[in-house]
Chain A
Amino acid sequence: MATIATITAALVLVFFYAPLDSDQGFVQKIFYIHVPLAIVSLCGFVFGGLLAIGHLRTGDRSWDMRSYVAIHMSLIFGIAALVAGLIWAKASWGHWWVWDDPTLVSFLIVLLLFATYQPLRFSIEDPERQARYASAFAIVAAAFVPLNFIAVRLAQGFVHPRVLTLTGGNLPGSMRLTFLVSLAGIALLFAALWKYELAAKNARIQLRRLRRELLGEDAVRPLRRSAAPS
């Protein structure tokens, strides 16, 4: 409920409250979707890595499930952010892709790295080992996120508008409010989707177990090999 309310509020603010950008016009509104999506997906990747630490420390497979769902969701959010960013870049810079922008390039590298998470899981058959290796990978990749941003930023100049700097960026008040509400909305959306997906996955596993107990081993078809924890 909180998610729906915040996202509605964010959309209302985006379209009716925030002023039109003087030189980009209406297209600038995509900023309120693109930037929160990107920030939330990066945080989601790191969150997945932290959950993976929980898995390796406790050996409890439910942590692996949490980490898997977080990274899975972040990948979807990240691809959405990338597509939104492409549209915005085309509209405001005139190119679909600009190489001399560090934020864009580092985001692509992070996305490329995390895109290998699923193939890695898929190619390990033993579920216990799959969980362990995927967690190790998630931790390395989460540590990679900030390092990568430092390296790429040093390599190039600044093109991307800085939104969240220590000094508060250069947004006027009404835009900042709208942006923060959008950010909160997307973050809540991520949290809600993460919880639903987790509940759905756990329910499915529970259901299989119950059916197997009630109907016997043969009644339940064996799972096809999958990247998801089981």
Chain B
Amino acid sequence: MRAAGAVLRKDLLLELRTLETLPAMILFSITTFVIFHFALGPGTIAGQLAAGVLVATLLFAAMLAINRLFVAEREQGGFEAFLLAPVDRSSLLLAKVAALFAFLVVLEVIAVPAFAILLLAPSIGPGLGGLVVLLALVDVALAVIGTLVSAIAVQTRARDLIGPIIGLPLLIPALIAAARGAAPLLATHGHRFPSGRWLAILALYDVVFALLSYALFDFLLED
């Protein structure tokens, strides 16, 4: 746990000092909202369309962070240093998942209000609580699968290509659950809370892939 904390602290400090990934993700998502505005035509959107635009934008913004997640380790020899240290290898996984999760939360704190201002027709207020719960579960899925995919892709030659083509199909079920679950929250006179089955699917998805990553991560570090 202490090792995981140290790596996490290193990652967050690095991001705070260089400001490489997060501003790019935020800018990317706001630009994407503008693009969707012009691509879709109408001034404001609601319901399923709004949920789809929001979730797809967050997914692609997350891809930016996923592509860069292990780049510092790879380029500066952090993998070797980590393997030399007498700590459990899973702590690197834990730290990276936590770092990615933190990035996504910061991104959403800015991107969701921006989305509500720029594109959303109904007020976001009533469904906000449900949306937060839903997005938290989506973030776990993105963080876990993103870390796993990133760890695989970073060792390949074409890592910027391999990351998305593996990651996107793996994330489609989470995307389905998120988009369907968020649709009634963003509708005019919508619900306050997403239906339980989408939360259940997301939770199941999170648990299964968290266990899988935990089991497989050791093999991805071995050298």
Query: Interface of A with B (CB < 8 Å)?
Result: 56, 109, 112-113, 116, 119-120, 123-125, 129, 132-133, 135-137, 139-141, 143-144, 147-148, 150-152, 154-155
Contacts and interface: CB of A to CB of B under 8 A. Distances in A.
A140 B219 CA distance: 13
B3 interface: no
Contact of B166 (A109, A137, A152): A137
B169 A123 contact: no
Contacts of B83: none
A190 to B, nearest CB: 23
Contacts of A136: 152, 216, 219-220
B157 A123 contact: yes
Given A125-B157, A136-B220, A151-B201, 13 more contacts: A116-B166, A129-B223, A133-B155, A136-B216, A139-B212, A140-B148, A140-B216, A143-B208, A144-B173, A147-B173, A148-B173, A152-B176, A154-B197
Contacts of B155: 124, 129, 133
B36 to A, nearest CB: 21
Interface residues of B, number: 31
Interface in B163-190: 165-166, 169-170, 172-174, 176-177, 180
Given A147-B208, A151-B173, A154-B197, A124 B156 contact: yes
12 contacts: A113-B170, A123-B157, A129-B155, A132-B222, A133-B155, A136-B220, A137-B152, A140-B148, A141-B170, A144-B170, A150-B173, A150-B201
A116 B174 CA distance: 19
A120 B173 contact: no
A112 B156 contact: no
Contacts of B56: none
Contacts of A151: 173-174, 176-177, 201, 205
A155 B212 contact: no
Given A136-B220, A140-B170, A152-B176, A119 B162 contact: yes
A154 B169 contact: no
Nearest to B145: A140
B169 A116 contact: yes
B219 A56 contact: yes
Contacts of A150: 173, 201, 204
B84 interface: no
A50 to B, nearest CB: 14
A135 B212 CA distance: 13
B172 A148 contact: yes
A155 B176 contact: yes
Contacts of B177: 151, 155
Contact of B158 (A123, A137, A139): A123
A155 B52 CA distance: 14
A213 B204 CA distance: 53
A123 B162 contact: yes
Given A136-B216, A147-B204, A116 B152 contact: no
A112 B164 CA distance: 12
B208 A113 contact: no
B169 A113 contact: yes
A113 B197 CA distance: 24
Contacts of A119: 158, 161-162, 165
B16 to A, nearest CB: 32
Contacts of B212: 139-140, 143
A67 to B, nearest CB: 14
A151 B205 CA distance: 9
A129 B157 CA distance: 13
A134 to B, nearest CB: 9
A155 to B, nearest CB: 5
B166 A120 contact: yes
A93 to B, nearest CB: 22
B210 to A, nearest CB: 12
Contacts of B180: 155
A122 B174 CA distance: 28
